[in-house]
């Protein structure tokens, strides 16, 4: 077994779609980043790469490489899943938390879980996603950005 943690944060800006957990969320702002800035998928990828001692997503998918410009983070997660397989592991479980003051994410969580479970080739019961606010404190509370944290357990693929 291997355990990894991940954290990501992106600034909210006008003129971008808001992508979280591989789905588009209705909101007047989106997250700024080199890719689609899917803060949840990025945190999950970092937790997986951390569990495998392979660094972070910036090492694997550098923001200096134009082939990743505006790329769908689901494509990157699939690449990380392929690495899990190559290393002889599979998902035990993922536990993730998104911190966003707005929009309310509860209506989207089941779709996020389905999307991520499908990419990681695991049962939806192995993917836990929670959303919280910061009670109007900090950059999240001021609606300046959204953050996500993830913990993953990888188990040997026997």
DSSP state letter for 33: S
Lowest pLDDT segment from 59-68, 76-85, 116-125: 59-68
The band of 62, judged by pLDDT with boundaries at 50, 70 and 90, is confident
Q: In whole angstroms, what is the distance from residue 80 CA to residue 22 CA?
A: 15
The band of 49, judged by pLDDT with boundaries at 50, 70 and 90, is very high
Cα torsion angle, 88, 54, 36, 141, sign: positive
97 is in an annotated binding site: no
Arithmetic mean of pLDDT over the chain: 96
Q: CB-based contacts of 79: which residues, under 8 Å, 6+ apart?
A: 60, 61
91-110 burial string, b = 16+ CB within 10 Å, else e?
Answer: bbebbbbbbbbebebeebbe
The band of 92, judged by pLDDT with boundaries at 50, 70 and 90, is very high
48 is in an annotated binding site: no
115 is in an annotated binding site: no
Position with higher pLDDT, 122 vs 64 = 122
134 is in an annotated binding site: yes
42 is in an annotated binding site: yes
56 is in an annotated binding site: yes
132 is in an annotated binding site: yes
């Amino acid at each position: 077994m291997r355990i990894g943690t991940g954290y990501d944060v992106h600034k909210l800006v006008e003129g971008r779609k808001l992508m979280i957990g591989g789905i588009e969320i209705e909101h007047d702002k989106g997250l700024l980043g080199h890719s689609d800035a899917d803060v949840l998928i990025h945190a999950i990828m970092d937790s997986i790469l951390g569990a495998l001692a392979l660094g972070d997503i910036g090492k694997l998918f550098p923001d200096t490489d134009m082939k990743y410009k505006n790329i769908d983070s689901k494509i990157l997660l699939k690449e990380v899943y392929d690495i899990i397989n190559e290393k002889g592991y599979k998902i035990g479980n993922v536990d993730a938390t998104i911190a966003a003051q707005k929009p309310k994410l509860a209506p989207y969580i089941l779709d996020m879980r389905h999307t991520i479970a499908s990419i990681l080739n695991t049962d939806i019961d192995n993917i836990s996603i929670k959303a919280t606010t910061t009670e109007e404190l900090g950059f999240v509370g001021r609606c300046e950005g959204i953050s996500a944290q993830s913990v993953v357990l990888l188990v040997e693929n026997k």
